[in-house]
C-alpha cells in the first residue's frame, strides 16, 4: 500500500460524508472513476439521473474543518488503502472508508477478539467477560468491544493492560454512556477509541449496527457472553458470520432470558465457550493457517461490468427496478435476473438510484428500497 496524496484524502473524506454515499457505494464509485475527486465531480449528474436533482458533494470547507478538529482532539484519520488501515476490516465489503482513531493506531492491526453482550449483564456474566477477556489479552490478543454498559465495560476493564479497542457509535470525542467517562479516558490513553462517524457526532440508534460491524470486522472472532433473543449482540454475531469470522457463545441457564440468545447461537453452530482456552485454541488454529482464508468477494469483477461513464441505462430500467424492489433486501444476482437487463446497466442504475436516496445497499451484495 502506498501513501495517499493529501488531496485524495480530502476528496475521500468529502465523498463518504456526502448524503446517500455509504461505504459500498463509496467503493463502487472509486472502482468506476479511479479517484474520489473524479467521483465527486460525477455525483450531481449520477444523482440527477436517479431522480435527485440537487445532490451536492460535502463541502470542502467542512471537510477541512473536520480534519482540523480531529487534530485538535488528538486523534487521527486513517483511510482505506493506507498501510495503517486494519487489514481484517479491509476484507469486508462495507468497511468504513475512513476511521477516526484516538490512541494507539497500531492496535488495529493486531490479532483481536471482539467481546459483546448484554448491557444489563448479570454479575456472573460480567465476571465471565472479565475472566475470558483478561486471559485472552494475556495470550496476545487485543480485545475489541463497544464501550457500552455491562459486558462491554467488563471486557475493556480486563484488557486495559494488554490492549483494548473501543468502537463507538458517535464521534470519537463523544463519551457514551456518560458513566463510562473514566473508562473512556483510560482506553484513549492506553488503548484505542475508534469511530466511523465524524467528530462531535452524537450516537444515534442507526449508528449502533454500523458500530457492531466494525467490532466484528476488526476481529478474528466474536465472543457473546449474554444476549437476549432479540439483542444487538446477536446482530453482531450475525455480522461476524457474514464476514467469515468465528463466533463463540457462553452457555447459560434456560431460565435466564439473557442466555436465550447465546444458547440459540450454540444450537446454530457457534463455538461453545466455557473457558478462555476454548477460544484460544480456535484462534491459535486460525493463526497457524495464516490467520484465515480470504473472505469471499461478492462484488469482485464489478468494475469491469460497469459501462463507460457516458453510457446510461435504457429508459424505464430504473422504474422497473423500483417496481420490483421492496424494503426487504434481495441479492443483486436475483435482481439482474428479474429485470432481464445486462449486469452493467443494472449496476449503473442501482448506483444512480442510491445517490438519489431511493434505495440502499446492504452487505452481502443485497439492495432494498428505502
Q: Where are the domains of the chain?
A: 102-288, 302-369
Q: Supply the pTM of this predicted model.
A: 0.87
Residues of the chain with pLDDT under 50: 292-310
What is the pLDDT at residue 96? 93
CA 197 to chain centre: 11
CATH number attached to the domain at 302-369: 1.10.10.10
318, 50 in Cβ contact below 8 A?
yes
For 91, counting Cβ atoms within 10 Å of its Cβ (0-12 exposed, 13-18 middle, 19+ buried), the class is: middle
Q: Which CATH number fits domain 102-288: 1.10.10.10, 1.20.120.520, 3.40.50.10540, 3.40.50.450?
A: 3.40.50.450
Q: What is the pLDDT of residues 190-222, one digit of tens each?
A: 999 999 999 999 999 889 989 999 999 999 999
Q: What is the pLDDT of residues 80-138, one digit of tens each?
A: 989 999 999 998 888 899 999 999 999 999 999 999 999 999 999 999 999 999 999 99
Helix axis angle, 332-339 to 343-355, nearest 10°: 110
Q: Which residue has the cell 472513476?
A: 33
What is the pLDDT at residue 312? 63
Amino acid at each position: 500500500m502506498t501513501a495517499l496524496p493529501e488531496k485524495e484524502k480530502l476528496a475521500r473524506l468529502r465523498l463518504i460524508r456526502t448524503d446517500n454515499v455509504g461505504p459500498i457505494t463509496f467503493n463502487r464509485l472509486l472502482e468506476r472513476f479511479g479517484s474520489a475527486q473524479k467521483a465527486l465531480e460525477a455525483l450531481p449528474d449520477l444523482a440527477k439521473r436517479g431522480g435527485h436533482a440537487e445532490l451536492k458533494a460535502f463541502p470542502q470547507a467542512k471537510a477541512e474543518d473536520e480534519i482540523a478538529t480531529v487534530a485538535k482532539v488528538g486523534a487521527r484519520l486513517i483511510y482505506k488503502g493506507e498501510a495503517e488501515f486494519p487489514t481484517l476490516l479491509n476484507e469486508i465489503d462495507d468497511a468504513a472508508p475512513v476511521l477516526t482513531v484516538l490512541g494507539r493506531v497500531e492496535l488495529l492491526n493486531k490479532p483481536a477478539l471482539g467481546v459483546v453482550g448484554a448491557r444489563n449483564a448479570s454479575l456472573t456474566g460480567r465476571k465471565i467477560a472479565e475472566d475470558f477477556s483478561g486471559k485472552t489479552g494475556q495470550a496476545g490478543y487485543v480485545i475489541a468491544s463497544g464501550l457500552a454498559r455491562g459486558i462491554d465495560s467488563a471486557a475493556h476493564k480486563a484488557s486495559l493492560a494488554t490492549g483494548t479497542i473501543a468502537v463507538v457509535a458517535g464521534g470519537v470525542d463523544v463519551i457514551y454512556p456518560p458513566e463510562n467517562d473514566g473508562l473512556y479516558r483510560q482506553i484513549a490513553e492506553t488503548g484505542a477509541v475508534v469511530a466511523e462517524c465524524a467528530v462531535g457526532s452524537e450516537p444515534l440508534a442507526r449508528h449502533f449496527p454500523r458500530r457492531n460491524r466494525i467490532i466484528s470486522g476488526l476481529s478474528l472472532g466474536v465472543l457473546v457472553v449474554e444476549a437476549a433473543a432479540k439483542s444487538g449482540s446477536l446482530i453482531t454475531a450475525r455480522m461476524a458470520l457474514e464476514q467469515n469470522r468465528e463466533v463463540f457463545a457462553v452457555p447459560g441457564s434456560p431460565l435466564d432470558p439473557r442466555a436465550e440468545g447465546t444458547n440459540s447461537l450454540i444450537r446454530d453452530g457457534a463455538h461453545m465457550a466455557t473457558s478462555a482456552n476454548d477460544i484460544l485454541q480456535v484462534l491459535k488454529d486460525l493463526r497457524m493457517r495464516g490467520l484465515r482464508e480470504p473472505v469471499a468477494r461478492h462484488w469482485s469483477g464489478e468494475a469491469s461490468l460497469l459501462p463507460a461513464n457516458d453510457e446510461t441505462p435504457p429508459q424505464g430500467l430504473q422504474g422497473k427496478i423500483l417496481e420490483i424492489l421492496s424494503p426487504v433486501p434481495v441479492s443483486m444476482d436475483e435482481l439482474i435476473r428479474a429485470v432481464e437487463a445486462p449486469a452493467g446497466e443494472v449496476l449503473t442504475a442501482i448506483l444512480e438510484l442510491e445517490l438519489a436516496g431511493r434505495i440502499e445497499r446492504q452487505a452481502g451484495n443485497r439492495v432494498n428500497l428505502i
